[in-house]
C-alpha cells in the first residue's frame, strides 16, 4: 500500500544521496548538498513542482500526438 511505497521512496532517496556523496568527493560538485537541502518556503516548492509536472505532461502529450499522427499516415 501507500506505506510500502513511501518506505521504498525513502530508501531509494537515501541510496541515491549516499551514492552521490561517494561519487562527488573531490570533484567540487555540490550535488549531494542540493539533494539533501530542504526548502524554506513550501508554497514556492509546490508551485515549481506544478510547473515542472505540467511541462512534463505537455511534452508527453505532444510526443503521443506525434506518434499517433505518424501511425495514421
SS3 for 31?
A: helix
What is the percent of the chain where pLDDT is above 70?
Answer: 78
pLDDT for 29 equals 59
User: What is the pLDDT, as a whole number, of residue 27?
Assistant: 63
The span from the CA of 19 to the CA of 17, in Å, is 5
Confidence of residue 68 (pLDDT cuts 50, 70, 90): very high
Average per-residue pLDDT for the chain: 79
Q: What is the mean pLDDT of residues 18-24?
A: 75
Sorted by sequence, the CB contacts under 8 Å of residue 35 that are 6+ apart come out as 13, 16, 17, 20
What is the phi-psi region of residue 51: left when phi exceeds 0, alpha when psi lies from -120 to 50, beta otherwise?
A: alpha
Nearest to 17 by CA among 2, 32, 39, 4: 32
Cα angle for residues 14, 20, 26 (degrees, 5° grid): 145
Amino acid at each position: 500500500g501507500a506505506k510500502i511505497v513511501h518506505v521504498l521512496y525513502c530508501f531509494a532517496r537515501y541510496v541515491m544521496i549516499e551514492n552521490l556523496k561517494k561519487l562527488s568527493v573531490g570533484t567540487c560538485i555540490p550535488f549531494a548538498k542540493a539533494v539533501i537541502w530542504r526548502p524554506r518556503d513550501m508554497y514556492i516548492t509546490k508551485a515549481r513542482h506544478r510547473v515542472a509536472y505540467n511541462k512534463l505532461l505537455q511534452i508527453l502529450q505532444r510526443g503521443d500526438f506525434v506518434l499517433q499522427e505518424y501511425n495514421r499516415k
